[in-house]
Amino acid sequence: MSAFLLCFAAWTALALGMDRHHEDAFGTAEPAPRRAHLPGLKHPWVHPAYLRPAGWAMLLLSLWPATSPADGAPGALPASINVVVWVAALSVSAMAVTAVVTWQPPRAPALATVALVAALFAQAWGW
Amino acid sequence: MNHHMPPTPAAAALHSAKTPKDREGFRQAMSWLHTWAGLVLGWLLFAIFLTGTLSFFKNEFNLWMRPETHGLPAADAHVAPKALAALLRQVPDVTQWIMRMPDERDPAVTLLWRDTGNGRFETLRMNPQTGDAITTRDTMGGDFFYRFHFELRTAQKGRWTLQGRWVVGAATLMMFIALLTGIVTHRRFFKDFFTFRPNKGGQRAWLDAHNVSGVLVLPFYLMITFSGLMIFHTLYMPSGIATAYRGDKGIDSNAYFADLQGEKPERRVRRSPGDKVDPLPPIALEPIVDAASARWHGGHIGALQARRDAEGRVVVEVTRHEGDRLQYRPPRLLFDGITGQWLEQADPTSPAVTTYGVLYGLHLARFAGPGMRWALFGFGLLGSLMIATGMVLWTVKRSARQQTQSQRKGTATTAPRAPFGERLVGAINIATLGGLPLACGVYLASNRLLPIATTHRADTELAWFFSAWGLALLWGLWCAVVRPQRGGWSVPMAAGALVWTTLPVLNALTTQAHLGVTLPTGEWMWAGMDLSFLATGALMGWLAWRLRPGRVPHGRKMAPTGAQHAPAPTHAQEHAHPHHGGHHGDHAGNAAMAPSKAMSGG
């Protein structure tokens, strides 16, 4: 579950790092060059130059719980199955992000933020 | 040929300019291969993919189609000895049995047994508490989808199954080729990663749908196609065994399979049907089950079986439950049936066998819990949609090209009749993409409608399935080839919608396992089937509505233009709307994108 949420946030960041989807979501055309207008920018933290690495980082991060060895708890699945579940979560969340940027692009940033927070909670509670 | 040219600057420039062009040529060649590899066996692939997707819920279909298994009590710890005692009451001279233990997906004990005649295995389903036999209706259940998926099975007992596996193998290879060439052909693989523009209409929307459904779930497609090929490697590529397992008496493929399963070849019995076999002595199962659980540190037990090995010794084999690991063919423990002593563990660990087991396991997905199973089911549906959009795209592209050509000639007012091949493709598209879901619904309906006492009931159900499919083909041919008209799509879709939505009603009228019972008691396995049928019906109804003839989408001033093979008018959209006002255009949109929208919606 946390893998799905984290992947969702990651894919959204990567999508919003693309010109087309960035424009759809924020309504601003070509983003200003980094640094030059940083304070004046409407959404300084969602600059594609930040979003893309953040997205990749979150994708990598989402793999971590899957690969960490099972702690012998009853019902714990072996890492091989966890990684397969992770790959599935990767695809499902990418489909979800595609649906969001297709039909609800302005909501994408908010949804991704909620997903990120929820992912942290889900991870904390071991979902 | 540049070798013969003098190395002038002009030639060097030409040479360097050639590289991207070559790449383009390669891409074009791959594009050609993608189109034709996809088209030739595309319909078969769609059928294989869709029935394979349904097979992820094979157990659930098996139960739904045998409503007599509804309402069984949960098993307790002593289920194995109880079931064996019940079997011996019925068949005292049993010589071999395989007992599948109840689990979350199947509450009954399933026993396969044979007696001294050493004939075919007989099947016996039992109540896990009382050991009473459950007499079920004669049906193939979900096994039909499963068998059709990999060997195009058309009858319960099976005919031409080996040939069927070869055909499926050829189709799978085509699929693999189409996937790989598709990656090469897709020019903007990363740039269009999340791009889906249903409002652009026509070819654009179809291509987007094809690309998005292809790219985002690509790991699944590559895995399922490659592992599908590998499962039958012994059939498709027998020379490896022929080389490595050459014995004194020719090729010993039996030894290969023993190695594959981690067994000692001498334990494998070779008997011909009709051989006399001694009945099994009484076996104390309880201590064996306890010993196996202890050895696996509480791992679940999937199945038990007892037989005589080649030396006549009574052996009990305990198989671990398949949900416990990714790899197919779970480990098995062998016990002596008389003394109850542990003999050995059969679990091959060589890298090759493990790789094969993982691929096999990934394909069958027996490891998957409910969430993962639904995800895989969704991926399978998306794969079917990817194939479907590809097939439709072929006709859409052609008719668009034709339209531009005739516009150039100034004859755009009267749409010309499409060439025969194109109409044929359109017809088979209707028959497969619309007809197969209809046929699946009819198959399920026949399970409830046919009298229980019908002779050859299971085969009659299949006859219903294939008749419905055949009718859809006739309808497609009529609508697209003989007398081109619109509406070819909406009729099978509407019929399918009717059948699927009627299924829960039929279920309520003929059984005690309907929604009125299963919803209040929270039996989600049973209720989930009926609810999914309703959802399928609703989806097909929505599609039929979107594709109904004479529907002119919003914002389109185009008059309907004669013969159509694609579900809706698609061409000239680009000319009519060079800019559609961003991506937030009208959502009522264009009928052509209906299936692609449904993809993301469903």
Amino acid (1-letter code) at residue B164: G
Calculate mean pLDDT across residues B573-577: 37
* Chain A closest-CA separation from residue B195 CA (Å): 7
Long-range Cβ pairs for the range A44-52 (8 Å, 24+): A46/A16, A46/A22, A46/A109, A48/A16, A48/A17, A48/A18, A48/A19, A48/A22, A51/A13, A51/A14, A51/A16, A51/A17, A51/A22, A52/A13, A52/A14, A52/A17
Give the count of beta carbons closer than 10 Å to the beta carbon of residue B213.
28
Calculate mean pLDDT across residues B301-314: 87
Percentage of chain B modeled with pLDDT above 90: 31
User: For residue B417, what pLDDT is reported?
Assistant: 67
User: For residue B72, what pLDDT is reported?
Assistant: 87
Residues B403-456 have pLDDT tens digits of 777 777 665 455 556 778 888 888 888 899 999 999 999 999 999 999 998 889
**C-alpha R_g of chain B:** 28
User: For residue B550, what pLDDT is reported?
Assistant: 66
Calculate mean pLDDT across residues B486-496: 85
The answer to whether residue A120 neighbours chain B at the CB level (below 8 Å) is no
Judged by CB atoms closer than 8 Å, whether chains meet at A81 and B196 is answered as: no
What is the pLDDT confidence band of residue B487, given thresholds at 50, 70 and 90? low
| Spatial separation of the C-alpha atoms in residues B11 and A24, rounded to whole Å | 46
Tell me: pLDDT of B369 over 90.
no
User: For residue A17, what pLDDT is reported?
Assistant: 76
Tell me: pLDDT of B553 over 80.
no
Judged by CB atoms closer than 8 Å, whether chains meet at A88 and B198 is answered as: no
Tokens read off for B506 = 């039929």
User: For residue B562, what pLDDT is reported?
Assistant: 37
Average pLDDT, chain B: 81
Contacts of B196 in chain A (CB under 8 A): 98, 102
The residues that bridge with B308 in the sheet, in sequence order, are B314
Select the residue from B194, B325, B358, B599 to test the A interface by mutation, using most A Cβ atoms within 10 A. Answer: B194
User: For residue B410, what pLDDT is reported?
Assistant: 62
Contact yes or no for B79/B101 (Cβ under 8 A): yes
Calculate mean pLDDT across residues B334-357: 85
Contact yes or no for B515/B531 (Cβ under 8 A): yes
User: For residue B590, what pLDDT is reported?
Assistant: 35
User: For residue B596, what pLDDT is reported?
Assistant: 36
Strands B250-251 and B246-247: antiparallel
Residues B5-17 have pLDDT tens digits of 444 444 444 444 4
User: For residue B2, what pLDDT is reported?
Assistant: 41
What is the pLDDT confidence band of residue B265, given thresholds at 50, 70 and 90? low
Tokens read off for A106 = 């302005």
Tell me: pLDDT of B303 over 90.
yes
* Chain A closest-CA separation from residue B583 CA (Å): 8
Calculate mean pLDDT across residues B123-149: 90
What is the pLDDT confidence band of residue A75, given thresholds at 50, 70 and 90? low
B173-191 b/e with 16+ CB inside 10 Å = b? bbbbbbbbbbebbbeeeee
Contacts of B587 in chain A (CB under 8 A): 103
Residues B21-32 have pLDDT tens digits of 676 788 888 888
Angle between helices B435-449 and B524-546 (to 10 degrees): 140
Size of interface A-B (CB pairs under 8 A): 68
The answer to whether residue A95 neighbours chain B at the CB level (below 8 Å) is yes
User: For residue B353, what pLDDT is reported?
Assistant: 85
> For the sheet containing B122-126, what is the strand order?
B122-126, B109-115, B94-100, B301-308, B314-320, B332-336, B342-346
Contacts of A98 in chain B (CB under 8 A): 194-196, 212, 216, 600
Residue in chain B closest to A12 (alpha carbons) equals B194
Vertex B60 angle, CA B134 and B42, to 5°: 130
Element of type H or E holding B100? strand B94-100
User: For residue B48, what pLDDT is reported?
Assistant: 94
Please choose, from the candidates B318, B375, B382, B381, the residue with its C-alpha nearest in 3D space to the C-alpha of residue B344. B318
| Spatial separation of the C-alpha atoms in residues B293 and B304, rounded to whole Å | 12
A23 burial via Cβ count (<10 Å: 0-12, 13-18, 19+): middle
Calculate mean pLDDT across residues A8-30: 74
The torsion region of residue B331 among left (phi > 0), alpha (psi -120 to 50) and beta comes to: beta
User: For residue A80, what pLDDT is reported?
Assistant: 80
Predicted model pTM: 0.82
Calculate mean pLDDT across residues B341-351: 83
Tell me: pLDDT of B497 over 90.
yes
Length of chain B: 602
User: For residue B63, what pLDDT is reported?
Assistant: 92
| Spatial separation of the C-alpha atoms in residues B425 and B566, rounded to whole Å | 10
Residues A80-97 have pLDDT tens digits of 888 888 888 888 888 888
* Chain A closest-CA separation from residue B216 CA (Å): 6
Calculate mean pLDDT across residues B541-550: 83
B8-30 b/e with 16+ CB inside 10 Å = b? eeeeeeeeeeeeeeeeeeebeeb
| Spatial separation of the C-alpha atoms in residues A51 and A81, rounded to whole Å | 30
Residues B197-229 have pLDDT tens digits of 877 777 788 888 888 888 889 999 999 999 999
The answer to whether residue A78 neighbours chain B at the CB level (below 8 Å) is yes
Contacts of A105 in chain B (CB under 8 A): 583
Name every residue in B having a CB less than 8 A away from some CB of A: 191, 193-198, 212, 216-217, 219-220, 298, 325-327, 358, 362, 367, 372, 375-376, 378-379, 382, 582-583, 587, 600
The residues that bridge with B113 in the sheet, in sequence order, are B97, B122
Length of chain A: 127
User: For residue B140, what pLDDT is reported?
Assistant: 92
User: For residue A69, what pLDDT is reported?
Assistant: 58
Least confident of B257-271, B472-486, B560-574: B560-574
Tokens read off for B554 = 């919003």
Least confident of B58-67, B79-88, B351-360: B351-360
Select the residue from A98, A104, A107 to test the B interface by mutation, using most B Cβ atoms within 10 A. Answer: A98
| Spatial separation of the C-alpha atoms in residues B168 and B49, rounded to whole Å | 11
Calculate mean pLDDT across residues B140-150: 92
Of B37-51, B159-173, B492-506, which one has max mean pLDDT? B492-506
Calculate mean pLDDT across residues B350-379: 88
User: For residue B51, what pLDDT is reported?
Assistant: 95
The answer to whether residue A99 neighbours chain B at the CB level (below 8 Å) is yes
Contact yes or no for B168/B87 (Cβ under 8 A): no
| Spatial separation of the C-alpha atoms in residues A101 and A88, rounded to whole Å | 20
Judged by CB atoms closer than 8 Å, whether chains meet at B212 and A90 is answered as: no
Least confident of A29-43, B58-72, B118-132, B274-288: A29-43
Least confident of B233-247, B285-299, B451-465: B233-247
Name, in order, each residue with C-beta under 8 angstroms of B331's C-beta and a sequence gap of 6 or more.
B296, B319, B320, B345, B346, B347
Least confident of A15-24, B130-139, B302-311: A15-24
Calculate mean pLDDT across residues B463-490: 85
Tell me: pLDDT of A74 over 60.
no
The residues that bridge with B100 in the sheet, in sequence order, are B110, B303
SS3 label, residue B322: helix
Residue in chain B closest to A89 (alpha carbons) equals B375
| Spatial separation of the C-alpha atoms in residues B233 and B217, rounded to whole Å | 25
Tell me: pLDDT of B393 over 50.
yes
Residue bearing the bigger pLDDT, B386 or A41: B386
User: For residue A46, what pLDDT is reported?
Assistant: 62
| Spatial separation of the C-alpha atoms in residues B115 and B121, rounded to whole Å | 9
HSE at residue B204, side-chain half, CA atoms within 13 A, is 18
CA distance to A67, B18, B323, B444, B450, per residue, from A79 (Å): 6, 48, 14, 38, 47
This model of the complex carries an ipTM of 0.81
Contacts of A21 in chain B (CB under 8 A): 194
Tell me: pLDDT of B592 over 60.
no
| Spatial separation of the C-alpha atoms in residues B514 and B516, rounded to whole Å | 5
Please choose, from the candidates B589, B569, B546, B557, the residue with its C-alpha nearest in 3D space to the C-alpha of residue B200. B589
- Spell out the alpha helix ranges (H) of B1-72: 9-40, 42-55, 58-64
Calculate mean pLDDT across residues B378-407: 85
| Spatial separation of the C-alpha atoms in residues B282 and B337, rounded to whole Å | 9
Judged by CB atoms closer than 8 Å, whether chains meet at A78 and B362 is answered as: no
| Spatial separation of the C-alpha atoms in residues B486 and B478, rounded to whole Å | 11
B299 burial via Cβ count (<10 Å: 0-12, 13-18, 19+): middle
User: For residue A37, what pLDDT is reported?
Assistant: 43
Amino acid (1-letter code) at residue B586: D
| Spatial separation of the C-alpha atoms in residues A28 and B295, rounded to whole Å | 63
DSSP state at residue B108: S
Please choose, from the candidates B150, B290, B116, the residue with its C-alpha nearest in 3D space to the C-alpha of residue B232. B150
User: For residue B532, what pLDDT is reported?
Assistant: 95
Judged by CB atoms closer than 8 Å, whether chains meet at B195 and A20 is answered as: yes
